[in-house]
Each structure stands twice: as structure tokens, then as C-alpha cells.
Amino acid sequence: MRQLQLLLLACLAPLALSLPGCAEKPAANGKRTIIAVIPKGTTHEFWKSVHAGARDASAELKIEIIWKGPLKEDDREQQIALVEDFISRGVAGMALAPMDDTALRAPVAAAKKAGIPVVIFDSNLKSEDFVSFVATDNYRGGAMAAEHMAGLLADKGRVILLRYQEGSDSTIQREQGFLDAIKKHPQIQVVSANQYGGPTTETAYRASENLLAPHKDASGNLTVEGIFCPNESTTFGMLRALQDGGLAGKVKFIGFDTSAKLEAALRKGHLNGLILQNPRRMGYLAVKTIADHLCGQQVPKRIDTGATLVTPDNADKPEIKALLTPEF
């Protein structure tokens, strides 16, 4: 019996490793392979680029994807409902960017129980019920921002951090990476690190105004020398607050992710650096990884999609410009 099992495994292995091609074959019920891709949201430029990457993989592998995310990036209940809906629809697999590292554990466990494998991307989940995690090394990205800030300030000054929102593992890692790395520069003091920008640029704008207010002198000038924001919405919200207050360019400011307005601010000197991910590559690899798994291939438990520091000095390099101004 043991010899027969080994023989069967040896015969089946080449079939399982026959990508590309196996994912496009009809499932047992005669339907094409369908993979659900569930981002945290759909409005930010970051998610548009992730979507483009997911479409790239869909076209290359000849599989169908369904792209659907919550309307607001703090609507945990809607994201949970989307996962549950895709379970009931019986999709072949899911790629999920959980907006909360705890709240999405039960839905992912339910997907696994239903025989639907899940790849987690962008932001991690406190669970072992997924097959792979495809994301930026967010902790390293935050540390890169801190080292760039230290260089800009010549290792001396006061800085503030505007956080994103509680439960978002990706930005929590960036924030912690920044704080841990800045500690290596003892003459740089973090004077505020407990304020949150929230899910949209509007909430981040209001939070930025509130955060900046106590750090101004009687003349309205800032009493801090550096600011770090860990995602697109907090970076843009803070940028607007600085611009509206006539303070843009008067403080060293480092953000995360990109958009046309953030690129323009970088070139004007209103931003001194952006830590850029590769969201298109992330979307592509999230879909490809779940497709590989469905075809029987062994996939890595962790896939790093890279992070790059962009400054006004290197913004025009071809490889940097491709990240700074992605095509959707």
C-alpha cells in the first residue's frame, strides 16, 4: 500500500506543477476559477495600483478575479461581510488585505473551514489560517523614514508622528519601525506619537490641524523640525494642513505612498521624502500566489514586495519614476 501511495504521488506531482495553465481549467463544477480580491478600500491611489497588478495576474493566468472592497477604510463590518459573502458564493480562493489584524481572524478561519484558501496581502493578520502573506516589510519602511529624517536634521531636533488608525497592522509596523530607529539618535526627541489621522484624507486633515496647533509659537511658527506620516491619507492630510497654514517647506516632512499631489509636493520641497511600496507588484503576487497554491504548488509563507526611499534628488531616475507615477 505504501509503495502504491508513493507511486501515485510521483505521478500527480508533475500535474500539480504544470503552471501556467492549471488555474485556467474549469473547476469540478464546470465553472472557471474565480478568486476574490478584497482590499481595505478602493479610493486611495495605492489600491488602484494594487487593482492594476491583480488584473495583470488575472490576464496572465487566464483566471477570473472579483475586486471588491469596503467603501470606507474603517468599516470592519463591511469587510467581514464581503469575506462571508464570498464564502457563500464558493469562490476558489481569496486575497485579502485585512483592515484589522484581529477582527478578520474569524472570517478567515471560516474560509479555511469551507475549503477556500486565503492569501493575506498588505497588512498582516494575527492568525495561522492563511497560506501566504504578501506585503512590504513595513517595519523596515518605517526605519528607512527615521534614518532619512535623522540625516535631514543632522541628528538633532524635535519630531512628531501622526499615526493612521488602530488595528491596521501595516501602518502599526511602519510607526514602530520609525520610533525604534529614531531612538538610535538620542538628540532627536519624539514630542508626539499618540494621535491618529483616521481612515480618510479629511479625518487626517482635521487631526493634523489639531496636532500642529500646540506645536506653534506665538508667531504661528512650528516648534518642531520633523514630521512623519505612515500612509497616503495621513501624508496628504498633513500636507494640506501645512500648506493651508503657510508652513509647507518649513519643516522636514516624510510620508508614505504616492499620488499625483504628493509627487508635486515632493518636487516643490513641501515633502522631503516618501517611502514607496510596489502596490502593483503586491496585487500581482497576491493573485499569483493564491493561483499557485490552488494548482498544488508550494508557496512561501512570506513574500516581501519591497520598499524604496524617494527624495527630490532621485525622483527622476527611471526605476523610481515608475514607482512614483504608476500606471493603472
- Give the domain ranges of the chain: 2-136+279-305, 138-276
> 17: Cβ–Cβ under 8 A, 6 or more apart, which residues?
295, 296, 297
Q: How far is the C-alpha of 241 from the C-alpha of 102, rounded, in Å?
A: 32
Question: Tens digit of pLDDT for each residue in 225-266?
Answer: 999 999 999 999 999 999 999 999 999 999 999 999 999 999
C-alpha cell at 289: 500566489
2-136+279-305 shares its CATH topology with 138-276: yes
Query: Which whole number is the average pLDDT over 190-206?
Result: 97
- Rg of the Cα trace of the chain? 22
pLDDT score of 292 more than 80: yes
pLDDT score of 63 more than 80: yes
Question: Tens digit of pLDDT for each residue in 157-180?
Answer: 999 999 999 999 999 999 999 999
The neighbour count for residue 189, using CB atoms within 10 Å, is 14
Q: Which CATH superfamily is domain 138-276 in?
A: Response regulator (3.40.50.2300)
Q: How far is the C-alpha of 158 from the C-alpha of 190, rounded, in Å?
A: 6
Q: Which class is 2-136+279-305 in CATH?
A: alpha beta
Report DSSP state, residue 178: H
Question: Tens digit of pLDDT for each residue in 259-275?
Answer: 999 999 999 999 999 99
Beta bridge partners of 159: 190, 226
